[in-house]
Structure 1
Amino acid sequence: MSDTQTLIENRPPSVAALFLERVAKTPNAEAYRHPVPTASGEGPEEWRSLSWEQAAERVYAIAAGLMDLGVRPEERVALASSTRVEWILADLGVMCAGAATTTVYPQTNAEESSYILADSASRVLIAEDAGQLAKARERRADLPDLAHVVVIDNDGAEAAGDDPEGWVLSLADLEKRGRDYLERSPEAVRERVAAITADQLATLIYTSGTTGRPKGVRLPHDNWSYMAKAIAATGLVTAEDVQYLWLPLAHVFGKVLTSGQIEVGHVTAVDGRVDKIIDNLPVVQPTYMAAVPRIFEKVYNGVAAKARAGGGAKYKIFQWAAEVAREYAKASQDNYRRTGNASVPFGLGAKHKIADTLVYSKLRDAFGGRLRAAVSGSAALAPDIGFFFSGAGIHILEGYGLTESSAASFVNPGEAYRTGTVGKPLPGTEVRIADDGEILLRGPGIMEGYHGLPEKTAEVLEPDGWFHTGDIGELSVDGYLRITDRKKDLIKTSGGKYIAPAEVEGQFKAVCPYVSNILVHGADRNFCTALIALDEPALLGWAEDNGLGGRPYAEVVATPQATALVQEYVDRLNEGLQRWQTIKKFRLLPRDLDIEHGELTPSLKLKRPVVEREYRHLIDDMYTGSKEA
């Protein structure tokens, strides 16, 4: 048996047990960093640290506090909060109490939050602030199982002041109850952790879904214990790393990163405020971070817009450097694949050195200057954007997984990464491609099933453990997986041609620096069309330079100049497509797509049915009076 197999197969039954091991192993090492506003509310925020032992004191207090409230093993404790250090401490507290965390996105409206709390039969809700508390109060009559709400922030705790029933308490109150409980029963938490079995429920994550009610995905403790060991076995992260964690922890991608960190023991800097990413990176100086493709797209568009604003000469330099980066990345990756050496021809290397001085070094500095690698997941990254960052020295390792597979089923292997693929399976995970191209997975990361939905579970999970992902893909001879599309998202035109819209959309994002979101439509139609939302800062910057300054986004996109601008990029896209894939017509949307209007999932995936329904009039208009293409 190999060392990797031994590491994975001899895993403990839970991450709670791993956490206790980590605290015992490196009690004084730094575990977490988190921002704290200054007392005056002005000036740069202070970043404070927690050692593993300090984190454990709070985790045990939360766990014991929940036990004092009567929470029993496998009972659900919901967590509705943005990404912050308290989210991690609370989640670990829930697991150390033997209970199960129900994750709720803080953006979720009162109706859907109520559905998740009721369907999961959550006994306690840990809510971030008064706003999250208000949602629970609004629907309290529909939540007979919800015995308590614990509020993290002080404003929420103050809002609980008029609650005579004790239904609401602050996180500080919960921790005090826990410390008192531990004075009476000092070994209570350790005993509860020791009693956890691998098949006990640890997490209930409701898929945001693109249609219908979300389904609760049941992930037992063993899923996370396996993920922790498998991530460590890849060798991609070390104890010396500093991770910057901003992803939504209610999403499985963010959640799995917390398990890997506990096993490896590195530092994690936690701040979920997306608008602070650019400010935080130079302060945190991470060695690795994970993100969704939209973040890399926004950075790319921002760099391109800045270069354009600097005048024609600067923009030409950027365009030249971008092409050199892509050429360099393709050449080095290709050579590594063939020889194990990432060298490139001398002339290309010389051009790359000049471009590095002019462009790439500044880009790396913007990421903090120490970034070894970034992991991209949740959706497909346009290969041209991936090659650009790769050539600029920001190595993006694409990965793949689903909520139902505990997030990390595939990841690109370090130096041997291949842009445009999601890499190889994690140790212990099996993969095969079905006759129709669907990717099937089997292994210790696969869910137990959908909560209370045995029929839905049977649709995707075979008796022998193979899980149907619903994604279409191809495996290379040496085991690299390339995702081509969602099975249900494949478009079949009225002419009988199949089109993968995500592939076309990704190519357009690489071509057009102004795009924010794009939806390609064409199912049962005689040609393809697109709905396009533009990136507001990039568009308004362009407007300033083209006589449209001072106008709001909606006015700018409605101008013939904006349509002509985008038409140029659509024409460029079409040059590289098959005839039946080309975009014959498009419409610019009056605003960007967003989570608040239900058009994007919290992980920024496009909800196609919602967008197509909302903008049906624009789609129909593009096909009015059309003839066969």
Structure 2
Amino acid sequence: MNLVEMLEASVETHRERVAMQHKVNGQYVALTYEQLWEKILATAAGLQEIGVREGDKVALWAESSPDWAICDFACMAIGAVVAPIYPTLPRDAVTYILQNAEARFLLVGHWKLLEKLMDEENHLPEGLEGTVLLEDLGLARFPSSFPLYALKALQNHGQQRLAASQSPIAQPRPPQEIFPNIPSSALATIVHTSGTSGQPKGVMLTHQNLISNVKAITRVVPVYPEDKALSYLPLSHIFERTVGLFTPLLFGASIAYAESIDTIRDNLLEIRPSILVTVPRLLEKVYAGILENLEHAPKAVRPLLEKGMGERPSPLAHKVVDKLVYSKIRSALGGQMRLVVSGGAGLASNIAKFFSRAGIPIVEGYGMTETAPVIAVNPLEDARPGFVGKPIPGVEVRLAEDGELLVRGPNVMQGYYRQPEATEETIDEEGWLHTGDLAEIIDGYIRIVDRKKNILVLATGKNVAPFPIENALTLSPAVSDAVLIGDGKPYVTCLLVPDFEVLKTRFDDVSDGNTTALLQRPDVLAWLDAEIVKAVAPFAAFERPKRALLLRQPFSMESGELTPTLKVKSRLLTMRYEQEIERMYHSPSKDVLLIGSGGQTGDGDDSEHHDTTDGTAHWIETDAIEDKEPAQENSKPATRSRLRRALFIGGGTLGALVVASGIALAATHPQNVKKLSDELNIGHTLSQIQTHNNGISQNNAQIVKEMDKAGTLSGASAVMNQQLGGLYQGIGKEDKTLQCLNGLSLQEVNLSNSFGQYANSIHGNLLNIAANSSSQNHALSQMNELTQELRQTAARLNEINQEMGGKLNTAKADSQQLANEMP
């Protein structure tokens, strides 16, 4: 059975149910399963009319819509192979895919895309024999000789063809005899990879590859006819196509298409979906926005909210957070969300936990284009945040010796189109597909570490996985995008795009988009630095970025820096900012934030930044120290040990360098050794070095001896003992002051208890208001009285705090006087 036959079976069962919805003139318009099927058959017959045949490659270049899905199934119904193209790709990338896939026909969304594809002489890329516009608008812009068809006209011709073949006049034939019988082993699509690290490769997927994936997914995460899915990701991506199109339709569910990513908030409220297929970037932005709003919450409420959003909140704290935060998130998602499917990139575990606590289960999966695409998914009843789940039924996984994840199963591609060498490199003789991802498998659950090619190998030999650190940075409200740098470098740095919308709001910026001026403000830089330090604090010292090149523009698909699924093209960015990265290490400019400095930037002068000849040693030493438990500041033995080591290494290294130089010279020019030895008198020089080393050793011993003496002075000094006695007497004199302060503290505790009583009273009144509307006016009156009492109590508390401040200042002055009297 092929995909089209599976859809036909679904149509027979759910004929009158709504299959799809899309906006027309500002209103959602429904399409039933029966209407959808009729359009697919008409489109398929129309495509046959213009010459599309079984095995032909048909490129589909359009935005997601019911027409996209109709054209997809129509092509597969006649045995054609669909090559989807992202609508955001530039002309050269589109041309490459058309030529690589050997496309004979192009189905294009609208005339603007078609104009973008044409060259200066109004010619389309070679090999195209016909083009279909999904919109009627713009046909008149092209010459009549141009092989261009409108989709509606094509469908009309197809309907006529179907009617004629089944009319009483002609020999009647059912649709299955009009269209070829397509086996499940036939090629269904060629999907080009996103090309984050080079030219895209055409992944060949059969009907069986896709059907096996759909069936396996729904055995873990079932889909029901009552489900409604909101689709906003591009259908050109295999994740949305398999999970967001094939899966709902083959099980009788309904799909509504968002107008755009900008309108998704409104569309969620209009459709009220039960399923949302998304990428982590959207969830990350929602989460970061909530954290930003939390920072602006009243200080009195903030601790309760933070506790309630934690892993183990008290029932009261959870109830408050659910009312103030979680319920609003559920409402913003339409109020009927059953599950959110996240894929296309890794999702941070804290985000998955957050949404789960909010009553919105996150089903994180893992896959790749080459596996149609799902490899693993978290089961709804036993999801593990931080893991991508267990392999779906029928799929095998194992780890190679270097930790790379290998996959084998019915969903694995047939290979890369016209690239047999690349296919052999990816799929071995036993059928194992090498994913290129480093992973761990614990209790059957898979955790992805990072892409093998993304691992940064520092000059120190340490390996850094960028994804967890980049993810932590982008979760900060201060950061929009981040890319870690450090391969072959002495330490980690990053390219960083601040979240300028957050900065403008937080710092009341009115510069009308002047991001340069905004990033020159010391208060902005200080806050940005503090947020970065906080975000990377959980990581090892060698993993934390030391510097950040601040970029003025967010990454975008238009600039080629993001893939259509919003993944960052790290390699492209590294090449694009190659010169700036080099300067960041050797001569940082004012665009470079020195992380951990409190907001300082570079000045182009590297004399104080330890990145010249000794830069590597400086950062190695720093990392080595920070990886261990911090030593006590007054640890004299440790200081003496380091001093001995430094003196020994300093003297010994000089002698070793001279000897090594002599050996190297002797090995390369033996004939000159005698002459050079006579001229330089090496024996005498080495004798002098030995004498100097002996002197250094003696001085070293003397220094250590003096330091030992200094260490005993503090305990032997009688004067110091007398002064310490005086200090104790002085502390005794302050006893009364401390007792007074203690009394004031007890008063503050009593007042705090009063606050608690008042708060409980208010809480009881609120419950009464909710339970009995007839007592609302009385309860509100009581609340007003309690509020007045709270104001009075707060005023009294303020007076006590001022009195405490005065007492503390007096105690501080007395202590300072005692300290001045000490030698």
**TM-score, scaled relative to structure 2:** 0.68
Conservation of the 8 A alpha-carbon contact between 1:326 and 1:384: no
Indicate the residue corresponding to 1:150 in structure 2.
132
Matched, 1:282 2:269: yes
Matched, 1:128 2:121: no
CA change 1:70–1:480 in 2 (3 A) is same
Across the aligned residues of Structure 1 and Structure 2, the Cα RMSD in angstroms comes to: 2.0
Name whichever of 71-80 and 182-191 sits farther off: 182-191
CA change 1:610–1:558 in 2 (3 A) is farther
Aligned residue type for 1:427: P
DSSP 3-state at the match of 2:346: coil
Within a 5 Å distance, the mapping from 1:251-330 to structure 2 comes to 251-257=237-243, 258-271=245-258, 273-308=260-295, 311-313=296-298, 317=301, 321=305, 324-328=308-312
Within a 5 Å distance, the mapping from 1:107-186 to structure 2 comes to 107-138=88-119, 143-160=125-142, 162-165=143-146, 167-186=147-166
Distance between the aligned counterparts of 1:432 and 1:249, measured in 2? 30
Superposition deviation, residue 236 in structure 1: 3.1
Find the partner of 1:564 among 523, 526, 536.
526
CA change 1:107–1:487 in 2 (3 A) is same
Find the partner of 1:195 among 173, 181, 196.
181
Indicate the residue corresponding to 2:11 in structure 1.
23
Indicate the residue corresponding to 1:72 in structure 2.
53
DSSP 3-state at the match of 1:303: helix
Indicate the residue corresponding to 2:484 in structure 1.
520
Distance between the aligned counterparts of 2:421 and 2:374, measured in 1? 25
Superposition deviation, residue 564 in structure 1: 1.6
Matched, 1:368 2:349: no
Distance between the aligned counterparts of 2:387 and 2:72, measured in 1? 32
Conservation of the 8 A alpha-carbon contact between 1:218 and 1:449: yes
Indicate the residue corresponding to 1:209 in structure 2.
195
Matched, 1:552 2:514: yes
Superposition deviation, residue 175 in structure 1: 0.6
Conservation of the 8 A alpha-carbon contact between 1:529 and 1:585: yes
Distance between the aligned counterparts of 2:66 and 2:521, measured in 1? 45
Distance between the aligned counterparts of 1:235 and 1:379, measured in 2? 19
DSSP 3-state at the match of 2:507: helix
Within a 5 Å distance, the mapping from 1:579-594 to structure 2 comes to 579-594=541-556
Distance between the aligned counterparts of 2:155 and 2:306, measured in 1? 52
Superposition deviation, residue 324 in structure 1: 3.2
Aligned residue type for 1:567: D
Find the partner of 1:351 among 317, 331, 345.
317
Superposition deviation, residue 509 in structure 1: 2.6
Name whichever of 88-97 and 551-560 sits farther off: 551-560
DSSP 3-state at the match of 1:62: helix
Aligned residue type for 2:127: D
DSSP 3-state at the match of 1:431: strand
Structure 2: unaligned runs, 5 residues or longer: 167-172, 587-605, 620-823
Superposition deviation, residue 549 in structure 1: 5.5
Distance between the aligned counterparts of 1:153 and 1:253, measured in 2? 26
Indicate the residue corresponding to 1:424 in structure 2.
390
Higher RCO (CA 8 Å, separation ≥ 6 residues) = 1
Conservation of the 8 A alpha-carbon contact between 1:79 and 1:125: yes
CA change 1:557–1:383 in 2 (3 A) is farther
DSSP 3-state at the match of 2:546: strand
Matched, 1:499 2:464: yes
DSSP 3-state at the match of 1:196: coil
DSSP 3-state at the match of 1:210: coil
Distance between the aligned counterparts of 2:106 and 2:392, measured in 1? 34
Indicate the residue corresponding to 2:703 in structure 1.
none
Superposition deviation, residue 321 in structure 1: 3.1
Superposition deviation, residue 535 in structure 1: 2.7
DSSP 3-state at the match of 1:583: coil
Distance between the aligned counterparts of 2:117 and 2:175, measured in 1? 28
Distance between the aligned counterparts of 2:409 and 2:179, measured in 1? 24
DSSP 3-state at the match of 2:567: coil
Aligned residue type for 1:153: E
Conservation of the 8 A alpha-carbon contact between 1:563 and 1:588: no
CA change 1:319–1:189 in 2 (3 A) is farther
Q: Report Cα offsets for 1:350-394 as digits up to 9, x if no partner.
A: 321111011110111111111111011111112222222222222
Aligned residue type for 1:522: G
Superposition deviation, residue 294 in structure 1: 0.8
DSSP 3-state at the match of 2:106: strand
**How many pairs does the alignment contain?**
583
Name whichever of 224-233 and 558-567 sits farther off: 558-567
Superposition deviation, residue 559 in structure 1: 3.3
Indicate the residue corresponding to 2:539 in structure 1.
577
CA change 1:622–1:432 in 2 (3 A) is same
Distance between the aligned counterparts of 1:434 and 1:180, measured in 2? 57
Distance between the aligned counterparts of 2:267 and 2:551, measured in 1? 32
The alignment-based identity, stated in percent, is 34
Indicate the residue corresponding to 1:237 in structure 2.
223
CA change 1:507–1:559 in 2 (3 A) is same
Distance between the aligned counterparts of 1:272 and 1:158, measured in 2? 26
Superposition deviation, residue 457 in structure 1: 0.5
Conservation of the 8 A alpha-carbon contact between 1:492 and 1:524: yes
Conservation of the 8 A alpha-carbon contact between 2:57 and 2:101: yes
Q: Report Cα offsets for 1:330-364 as digits up to 9, x if no partner.
A: xxxxxxxxxxxxxxxxx633321111011110111
Superposition deviation, residue 480 in structure 1: 1.0
Distance between the aligned counterparts of 1:117 and 1:228, measured in 2? 28
Superposition deviation, residue 412 in structure 1: 1.0
DSSP 3-state at the match of 1:369: coil
Conservation of the 8 A alpha-carbon contact between 1:397 and 1:419: no
Distance between the aligned counterparts of 1:253 and 1:588, measured in 2? 33
Indicate the residue corresponding to 1:8 in structure 2.
none
CA change 1:81–1:554 in 2 (3 A) is farther
Q: Report Cα offsets for 1:271-301 as digits up to 9, x if no partner.
A: 2510011111111111111111111112123
Aligned residue type for 1:560: P
Q: Report Cα offsets for 1:291-314 as digits up to 9, x if no partner.
A: 111111121233344455xx4517
CA change 1:254–1:455 in 2 (3 A) is same
Superposition deviation, residue 205 in structure 1: 0.8
Distance between the aligned counterparts of 2:128 and 2:13, measured in 1? 37
DSSP 3-state at the match of 1:138: coil
CA change 1:74–1:557 in 2 (3 A) is farther
Structure with bigger helix share is 2
Superposition deviation, residue 253 in structure 1: 0.8
Distance between the aligned counterparts of 2:389 and 2:303, measured in 1? 29
CA change 1:562–1:74 in 2 (3 A) is farther
Aligned residue type for 2:231: L
Distance between the aligned counterparts of 2:56 and 2:118, measured in 1? 21
CA change 1:550–1:596 in 2 (3 A) is closer
Distance between the aligned counterparts of 2:529 and 2:319, measured in 1? 34
Q: Report Cα offsets for 1:390-416 as digits up to 9, x if no partner.
A: 222222111100011112111111121
Indicate the residue corresponding to 1:536 in structure 2.
500
Matched, 1:450 2:430: no
Superposition deviation, residue 25 in structure 1: 1.6
Conservation of the 8 A alpha-carbon contact between 1:199 and 1:220: yes
Distance between the aligned counterparts of 1:515 and 1:267, measured in 2? 36
Distance between the aligned counterparts of 1:299 and 1:596, measured in 2? 23
